[in-house]
Structure 1
Amino acid sequence: MKLSRTTGTLAGIATAALALALLIPTFSNQEQPPSWSPAPTPPASSAASSPALDLLAQIPDAGPAPTQPYDRDEFGPRWADVDRNGCDTRNDMLQRDLVDVTFKPNTRDCVVQRGTLHDPYTGETVTFTRISEGYQPTQVDHLIPLSVAWATGAAEWPTDKRLQLANDPSNLQVTTANQVKNDSTPSQWMPVASYACEYSTRYVQVAHAYELAISAADRAALTDTLSRCANTTP
């Protein structure tokens, strides 16, 4: 009886082992059991960039203010004829930025008498009429104000370079917002949203071309604007 129970027990164990073997998959030497791994994480999107942002990164930070106070006369006479075309810079800019321009008689098509301005700073359309005295609402603005240029590098320049900046078309814009903007920089003032990208780009291009420094506040404002512009560019 003892032998029979042992034999029966061994037979039962063998039967159970066979059943378990059938349930467990086997793998050849070439096959490996499947392993679990998490799904790959998609790469993070790169930060927005643009040529203007690249230029901005090359512009140095503004240092201490110059000891010599700003004086507009250090930038030469107002609206000089630096390109020797017979017209001063102010009238050159009026011709560039106005449409339907008419000229004062006997000025060799130089002195702008009337015209229409589609003002990029404000988004408004206004009529320019030349007046000989009193306040002229349509003026020529320096994107980088001359006082700011003085404080960020121009104080060390020769006079001819300051004259060039003061009359450089890339740093000039006809607008009715000149008095509102005044000597403000991008951290203090921006044009309407439709022109903010162009304004910021031009500001950076001029600063880079003339090797002017930029304050931390202006760098932050320009970076924010230009980054949003880069993200919305198709």
Structure 2
Amino acid sequence: MRRRTGSAITAAAGLVAVAIVAFANLAQDATVVERQVLVPAATSEAPGAVAPESPAPAAPIRTDTGDALAQLEQLTIAEPFSTKKYVRDYFGQRWADVDRNGCDTRNDILARDLTDITFKPGTHDCVVLSGVLYDRYTEETVQFVRVSQGYQPAQADHVVSLYVGWISGAEGWTPEKREQFANDPLNLQITTANQQKGEFTPSRWMPTSATAACEFSARYVMVLYAYDLTIAAVDAAALRSTLTSCSA
């Protein structure tokens, strides 16, 4: 801004003008800062958009066949037994938010096991709408798209089914421990083979791929060991055979 000589009034006016310009520049800078904070939030709310700050999916649960073999030998061998019939409600709310992170367990596991995820707008990156699944049971890569009604091919499978847990020792647990078991990420895996596997144990169902069978067997033992559940002799033999071949 040019400076002028002249009356005191003119000088004062010039000072006022400088102050106005400086104030305007400060206001403009403040506006820019505010927008930089707001833009990511607005972007994440756009329909079908992926939040730019969303964390990458967690790595699959680490398994070690040698450790699993050692844990298998420490399990109690016993035939399945319960004094009353298994009921799903014994394991508490379906897909509870047991870790209190604001998302239910099913969406937590979807976010862990999928890549290229899109979230439902307005759910704080909680409700998964779509993504790509590398199925650790079948070793296939499939597209996941959330459906509100009807059959969903990719489902959350309990590695050790709730029924098997019930007849292997969970009947004697507290309701809180059963709910924790039903929502434990260690015991959950997104797969298209959930219906095929169902409540079968390792002596009756195993992934067809040798690599997938090794990972599944190790996970199965890890769950039993973590919860001090018993195992039938025939299942212990099947797991021992698989894990031994994995370690060879």
TM-score (norm 2): 0.72
2:158 is matched with: 142
Partner of 1:106: 122
In the alignment, the residues of structure 1 paired with residue 139 and residue 81 of structure 2 have an alpha-carbon distance, to the nearest angstrom, of: 34
Aligned equivalents of 2:214, 2:142: Cα separation in 1: 22
2:76 — aligned with what? 60
Give the C-alpha shift of residue 63 in structure 1.
3.8
Give the Cα separation in 1 of the matches to 2:246 and 2:107.
32
1:110 counterpart SS class: coil
The within-5 A match list for 1:44-193 is 50-63=66-79, 65-191=81-207, 192-193=209-210
Larger Rg: 1
- Equivalent position of 2:223 in the other structure: 206
Shift of 1:217: 0.9
* Runs of 4+ deviating beyond 2 Å: none
Gap change, CA 1:64 and 1:196, over 3 Å in 2 = closer
What is the count of residue pairs matched by the alignment? 183
What letter corresponds to residue 204 of structure 1 in structure 2?
A: V
Partner amino acid for 1:55? Q
Partner of 2:217: helix, strand, or coil? helix
Is the 2:132–2:143 Cα contact (8 Å) retained in structure 1?
Answer: yes
**Cross-structure match for 1:228:** 245
Q: Which amino acid aligns with 2:112?
A: R
Q: Which whole-Å CA distance do the structure 1 matches of 2:227 and 2:80 have between them? A: 18
Runs of 5+ unmatched residues, structure 1:
1-48
- After superposition, what is the alpha-carbon deviation per residue over 1:195-232, rounded to whole angstroms, capped at 9, x for unaligned? 1111111111110110000001100000000110111x
Q: Which amino acid aligns with 1:52?
A: A
Task: Please tell me the residue identity of whatever aligns with 1:101.
Answer: I
Compute the displacement of 1:67 (Å). Answer: 1.6
User: What is the Cα deviation at residue 50 of structure 1?
Assistant: 2.1
- RMSD, aligned CA: 1.0
Contact 2:80 2:232 in 1 (8 A): no
Matches of 1:207 and 1:77, distance apart in 2:
22
Question: Which sections of structure 2, spanning at least 5 residues, go unmatched?
Answer: 1-64
Rate the CA distance shift 1:123–1:224 in 2: closer, same or farther, 3 A. same
TM-score, L = length of structure 1 = 0.77
**What is aligned with 1:218?**
235
Instruction: Tell me, yes or no, if the aligned pair for 2:197 and 2:205 is still in contact at 8 Å.
Output: yes
1:175 Cα offset (Å): 0.3
SS at match of 1:187: coil
